[in-house]
């Protein structure tokens, strides 16, 4: 839930129509209220070009950018708003946590929620979101540990199986073919001529080039946000 946006809009809509920064903030608030986030962000940026530290313009710009999924820009705006007076600091920190979570910067999200709770220990939403993130972090750690244990166990079992196979095969090999020399690891490659080897290497390079790129971080997970 985006905090303080409603309050900010009420301030903007009730303010008289001044020229300059206040006028731009007021017009941006009206555009935001009608969910015209792109136009609202343009107005907020216009206000910030005249007053870069204006906390209401920074907070509004952060909210607009957030709804546009421009999370890097939203984070910068909320960070600036959080450095202003205490009026918007706590809410800017909470929204900064949401923004970091959406952009998959979960360590930064945890830090922002902690700062928001320090500002207001009664903020149930910040506490709720922080608890979810810490639980998710612990679950991932447990999962990684379990995967490592399974890999170690599988590797150990494979080593034991290889040892048993080697013990069972050696006598049989000596009895049935006592004069046969053990096959060298490089023997299967002796039948491949230079042209075939070059072709295999080329295919490997081609496949590597065609490998799809990894997708970017998902931004649609709502679990961390309460009553969104």
Helices (H) and strands (E) in the chain, counts: 9, 0
**CA–CA distance, 104 with 101 (Å, rounded to integer):** 5
Q: Nearest CA to 99 among 135, 138, 58? A: 58
CA–CA dist 60, 130 (Å, integer): 24
In this predicted model, what pLDDT tens digit does every residue of 70-103 receive, in sequence order? 999 999 999 999 998 888 999 999 999 999 999 9
Q: What is the pLDDT of residues 37-62, one digit of tens each?
A: 999 999 999 999 999 999 999 999 99
User: pLDDT (tens digit, 9 = 90+) per residue, 94-137?
Assistant: 999 999 999 999 999 999 999 999 999 999 999 999 999 999 98
Give residue 224's pLDDT: 47
Q: Which of 63, 88, 60, 62 is nearest to 76 (CA)?
A: 62
For 26-95, the DSSP string reads HHHHHHHHTT-HHHHHHHHHHHHHH-TT-HHHHHHHHHHHHHTT-HHHHHHHHHHHHTS-HHHHHHHHHH
Name all domains of the chain by residue range, CATH numbers in brackets: 5-132 (1.25.40.10)
């Amino acid at each position: 839930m985006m905090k303080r946006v409603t309050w900010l809009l009420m301030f903007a809509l009730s303010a008289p129509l001044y020229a300059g920064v206040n006028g731009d903030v007021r017009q941006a608030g009206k555009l935001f209220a009608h969910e015209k986030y792109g136009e609202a962000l343009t107005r907020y940026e216009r206000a910030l070009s005249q007053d870069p530290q204006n906390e209401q313009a920074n907070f509004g710009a952060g909210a607009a950018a957030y709804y546009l999924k421009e999370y890097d820009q939203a984070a910068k705006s909320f960070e600036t708003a959080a450095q202003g007076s205490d009026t918007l600091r706590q809410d800017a920190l909470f929204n900064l946590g949401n923004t970091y979570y959406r952009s998959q910067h979960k360590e930064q999200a945890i830090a922002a929620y902690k700062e928001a709770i320090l500002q207001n220990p009664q903020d149930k939403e910040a506490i709720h979101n922080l608890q979810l993130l810490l639980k998710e972090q612990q679950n991932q750690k447990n999962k990684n540990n379990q995967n490592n244990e399974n890999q170690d166990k599988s590797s150990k079992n494979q080593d034991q199986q290889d040892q048993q196979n080697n013990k069972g095969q050696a006598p049989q090999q000596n009895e049935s073919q006592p004069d046969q020399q053990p096959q060298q690891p490089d023997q299967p490659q002796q039948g491949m001529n230079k042209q075939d080897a070059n072709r295999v290497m080329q295919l490997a390079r081609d496949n590597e080039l065609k490998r799809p790129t990894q997708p970017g971080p998902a931004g649609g997970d709502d679990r961390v946000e309460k009553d969104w």
